[in-house]
Amino acid sequence: MKTAKLILDGKEYELPIVVGSEGEVGIDIRGLRSATRAVTLDSGFANSGSCSSEITFIDGEKGILRYRGYPIEQIAENATFTEVAYLLIYGSRPGADELAEFNRKLTYHSLIHEDMKNFFSGFPATAHPMAILSAMVASLSSYYPRSAIDNNELNIIRLLSKARTIAAFSYKKSIGQPFMYPSNELSYTENFLHMMFSVPAEPYRISPVMERALNLLLILHADHEQNCSTSTVRMVGSSEANIFASISAGINALWGPLHGGANQKVIEMLTRIRDDGGNYEKYVDLAKDKDSDFRLMGFGHRVYKNFDPRAKILKAAADEVLEEMGKNDPLLDIAKNLERIALEDDYFVERRLYPNVDFYSGILYRAMGIPTNMFTVMFALGRLPGWIAHWREMRLDPDGRIYRPRQIYTGSTRRDW
Ligand code: COA
């Protein structure tokens, strides 16, 4: 067995090495503190593996993303979102019958309890839909309180299905239109578009281009291993908090502009550049200026240091979808020009900053008629299967423990009151 050696205060310690199925090497420090009284310090956890996981593989250097071993490019080309959800959560591709049954359950659990509709009227019309989504998802636990693992299969279905209804209702609330109930005739993604855009007087005509684009966006967001929100879900779930509470915490973590909130910020940035006469250089310079707090939103990634494979797929899709729909979005041209200029600039090249998934996703959401403040909600709907898969994997892990990091205390030493 390979080991790593640590010398601390002249004393040598041997630490086991763990190797993942793609050859990733980890130094196992689980026995470190009890052996040495020392801990490791890794702010932002950039060098720490918090768990072993079989769900998603990323190689940021090579721009690789795979769900359960399948390359994202192949999945994006061939799968539907619910198929991907099944794959992520249960570990293998569903057979035709399994998928039909999974879809059937998602269809039949799409309504929210009528009483929950009253909650919506308590929020101000200006409420951010992420605030509503996280509060409503946490509230689901008051309707389905059992958190025993045997009951969770049904709660998983409820969560996947009802979060979509809640998201659409929060949009309807924000524009003062009546809620549209889900229809059992429609697929998962069609149903979402229907609940968002139909009005009682006129059902929304769902274009296949739109439905395909939505499927693609949700699939590309479906999992990304131990990112901030997924780690939050695992962290909260590790205390054995119920699935709704755990996922609601993940939704809140996603909301921040350095994570899922970035897609909204990208469109705001592109709009600002457009309104300022389209002067890209000025904004590239601003992003490089350490005295300004401006960053190129949708650029850079903690893990991808080559390119984000999802951004590549979405850039191509944005072109296709806009063309098929006969739409022209000046923000797409601004985004492409900004990308070109930034990628030629030493600052971005040296720091290996590339467009991430959020850089082009907003353009697609705009083309679909989804308002900017719903973008992060869309990300959350896409990420649900990933969060659920990680929550489930963690809860089923016989070696699972409550998350409880250590710290290096740097405050005052003892002093008298
Ligand atoms: N624009 C300008 N400079 C950027 C940048 C951006 N978008 N992203 C990173 N940098 C610079 C940092 O200033 C830093 O420069 P320095 O070494 O001279 O101090 C360097 O690149 C490394 O950045 P750092 O913040 O340490 O990287 P990180 O791994 O902690 O952060 C992100 C990753 C994604 C949070 C960061 O790149 C970012 O804020 N991007 C914009 C927000 C975004 O798109 N988020 C969505 C992620 S999917």
Residue 59 is a catalytic residue: no
Can you tell me the mean pLDDT for 213-236?
Answer: 97
User: Ligand 1 in contact with 284 (CB < 6 A)?
Assistant: no
Any atom of ligand 1 within 6 Å of the Cβ of 261: no
Pairing of strands 56-59, 64-67: antiparallel
Cα–Cα distance, 348 to 266 (Å, whole number)? 17
Mean local confidence (pLDDT), 57-77: 96
Using 50, 70 and 90 to split pLDDT, how confident is the model at 319?
Answer: confident
Query: Is 301 designated active site?
Result: yes
Residue nearest ligand 1's atom 41 by CA: 297
The atom number, within ligand 1, closest to the CA of 290 reads 13
Of 45-49, 119-123, 268-272, 331-335, the least confident: 331-335
Pocket test for ligand 1, best of 43, 269, 282, 295 (most atoms within 8 A of CB): 295
Per-residue confidence band for 243, with pLDDT thresholds at 50, 70 and 90:
very high
Segment 26-32 mean pLDDT: 96
Residue 370 near ligand 1, beta carbon < 6 Å:
no
Smallest CA separation from ligand 1 atom 14, residue: 351
Q: Which atom of ligand 1 is nearest to the CA of 227?
A: 48
Q: State residue 146's pLDDT score.
A: 67
Structurally, what CATH architecture does the domain formed by 262-367 represent?
Orthogonal Bundle (1.10)
Q: From the candidates 128, 194, 224, 301, which is the catalytic residue?
A: 301
Average pLDDT over residues 80-104: 98
- Mean pLDDT across 201-212: 92
Interatomic CA distance for residues 47 and 303, integer angstroms: 11
Distance 48 CA to ligand 1 centre (A): 19
Reading the block at residue 376, the tokens are: 């992060």
Alpha helices in 221-308 (DSSP H): 228-237, 243-255, 262-275, 280-288
Q: Is 335 a residue whose pLDDT tops 90?
A: no
Domain spans in the chain, listed from the N-terminal domain onward:
3-64, 70-258, 262-367
Same fold, 3-64 and 70-258: no
* Among 302, 350, 361, residue to substitute to test ligand 1 (most atoms within 8 Å of Cβ): 302
Distance CA 257, CA 247 (A): 18
300 C-beta closer than 6 A to ligand 1: yes
Cα–Cα distance, 252 to 200 (Å, whole number) = 32
Residue with tokens 């909650």: 119
Residue nearest atom 11 in ligand 1 by C-alpha distance: 351
Taking each helix axis as running N to C, give the angle between helix 375-396 and helix 129-143, from 0 to 180 degrees, rounded to the nearest 10: 40
Confidence (pTM): 0.92
Q: Which residue has the higher pLDDT, 324 or 157?
A: 157
Q: Name which residue sits closest to atom 32 of ligand 1, judged by CA.
A: 301
Compute the distance between CA of residue 331 and CA of residue 271 in angstroms, rounded to an integer: 7
CATH for 3-64, options being 3.90.320, 2.20.28, 2.60.40, 3.30.70: 2.20.28
What is the pLDDT averaged over residues 317-336? 85
Superfamily of domain 70-258: Citrate Synthase, domain 1 (1.10.580.10)
Comparing 341 with 180, which gets the higher pLDDT? 180
Cα–Cα dist 302/296, whole Å: 15
Centroid of ligand 1 to alpha carbon of 352 (angstroms):
10
Name which of 165, 153, 155, 156 is nearest 111 in CA terms. Answer: 165
Q: Model confidence at 321, in pLDDT bands (50, 70, 90)?
A: confident
Report the sign of the C-alpha dihedral through residues 271, 277, 282, 284, in that order.
positive
- Kindly tell me if the per-residue pLDDT of 373 is higher than 60: yes
Among 42-56, 138-152, 273-287, the range of highest mean pLDDT:
42-56
